[in-house]
Amino acid sequence: MANLLGALIGAAIDRQDGDSGIKGAIVGTVVESAIRGLAPIVATYALGWAVQYGIRKGWQAVVGDDPVDVDAGRLRPSGRS
Protein backbone atom coordinates (compact mmCIF):
# COMPACT_ATOMS: atom_id res chain seq x y z
CA MET A 1 0.00 0.00 0.00
CA ALA A 2 2.88 2.37 0.76
CA ASN A 3 4.31 2.10 -2.75
CA LEU A 4 0.97 2.26 -4.53
CA LEU A 5 1.38 5.81 -5.83
CA GLY A 6 4.77 5.09 -7.40
CA ALA A 7 3.44 1.91 -8.97
CA LEU A 8 0.38 3.67 -10.41
CA ILE A 9 2.43 6.53 -11.87
CA GLY A 10 5.00 4.13 -13.32
CA ALA A 11 2.29 1.97 -14.86
CA ALA A 12 0.56 5.00 -16.39
CA ILE A 13 3.82 6.22 -17.93
CA ASP A 14 4.64 2.74 -19.24
CA ARG A 15 1.18 2.34 -20.77
CA GLN A 16 1.65 5.52 -22.81
CA ASP A 17 4.35 3.64 -24.74
CA GLY A 18 1.89 0.85 -25.52
CA ASP A 19 3.32 -1.61 -23.00
CA SER A 20 1.37 -3.55 -20.40
CA GLY A 21 2.44 -1.27 -17.55
CA ILE A 22 3.85 -3.98 -15.29
CA LYS A 23 7.46 -2.97 -15.91
CA GLY A 24 6.55 0.66 -15.22
CA ALA A 25 4.81 -0.31 -12.00
CA ILE A 26 7.92 -2.15 -10.81
CA VAL A 27 10.20 0.73 -11.78
CA GLY A 28 7.85 3.22 -10.12
CA THR A 29 7.90 1.22 -6.89
CA VAL A 30 11.71 1.05 -6.89
CA VAL A 31 12.05 4.77 -7.62
CA GLU A 32 9.60 5.69 -4.87
CA SER A 33 11.54 3.55 -2.39
CA ALA A 34 14.80 5.19 -3.44
CA ILE A 35 13.32 8.66 -3.02
CA ARG A 36 12.03 7.75 0.44
CA GLY A 37 15.54 6.60 1.39
CA LEU A 38 17.36 9.58 -0.07
CA ALA A 39 14.99 12.32 1.09
CA PRO A 40 16.25 12.40 4.73
CA ILE A 41 19.87 12.44 3.54
CA VAL A 42 19.22 15.33 1.16
CA ALA A 43 17.27 17.24 3.82
CA THR A 44 20.07 16.76 6.36
CA TYR A 45 22.67 17.99 3.85
CA ALA A 46 20.58 21.04 2.96
CA LEU A 47 20.03 21.92 6.63
CA GLY A 48 23.74 21.56 7.39
CA TRP A 49 24.64 23.76 4.43
CA ALA A 50 22.15 26.43 5.52
CA VAL A 51 23.55 26.45 9.08
CA GLN A 52 27.14 26.75 7.81
CA TYR A 53 26.12 29.51 5.41
CA GLY A 54 24.35 31.43 8.19
CA ILE A 55 27.30 31.11 10.56
CA ARG A 56 29.69 32.23 7.83
CA LYS A 57 27.58 35.29 6.99
CA GLY A 58 27.20 36.12 10.69
CA TRP A 59 30.96 35.87 11.20
CA GLN A 60 31.52 38.06 8.17
CA ALA A 61 29.09 40.66 9.52
CA VAL A 62 30.69 40.72 12.99
CA VAL A 63 34.36 40.55 12.06
CA GLY A 64 34.20 42.03 8.58
CA ASP A 65 36.31 39.28 7.03
CA ASP A 66 35.22 36.09 5.33
CA PRO A 67 36.77 33.07 7.10
CA VAL A 68 36.86 31.10 3.84
CA ASP A 69 39.58 31.81 1.29
CA VAL A 70 37.67 32.22 -1.97
CA ASP A 71 40.59 31.14 -4.16
CA ALA A 72 41.50 27.99 -2.21
CA GLY A 73 37.99 27.15 -1.01
CA ARG A 74 39.04 26.34 2.55
CA LEU A 75 39.29 28.08 5.90
CA ARG A 76 42.02 30.65 6.35
CA PRO A 77 44.53 30.09 9.15
CA SER A 78 43.49 31.89 12.31
CA GLY A 79 47.01 33.07 13.17
CA ARG A 80 46.80 31.51 16.63
CA SER A 81 49.24 28.85 17.77
Question: What single-letter amino acid sits at 49?
Answer: W
Q: Is the pLDDT of residue 5 over 80?
A: no
Maximum C-alpha span of the chain: 70
What is the C-alpha separation between 65 and 62, in angstroms, rounded? 8
> What is the model's pLDDT at position 81?
39
pLDDT tens digits, residue range 61-80? 788 777 677 787 787 776 54
Classify residue 77 by its DSSP letter. P
* Ramachandran quadrant class, 12 (left: phi over 0; alpha: psi -120 to 50; beta: rest): alpha
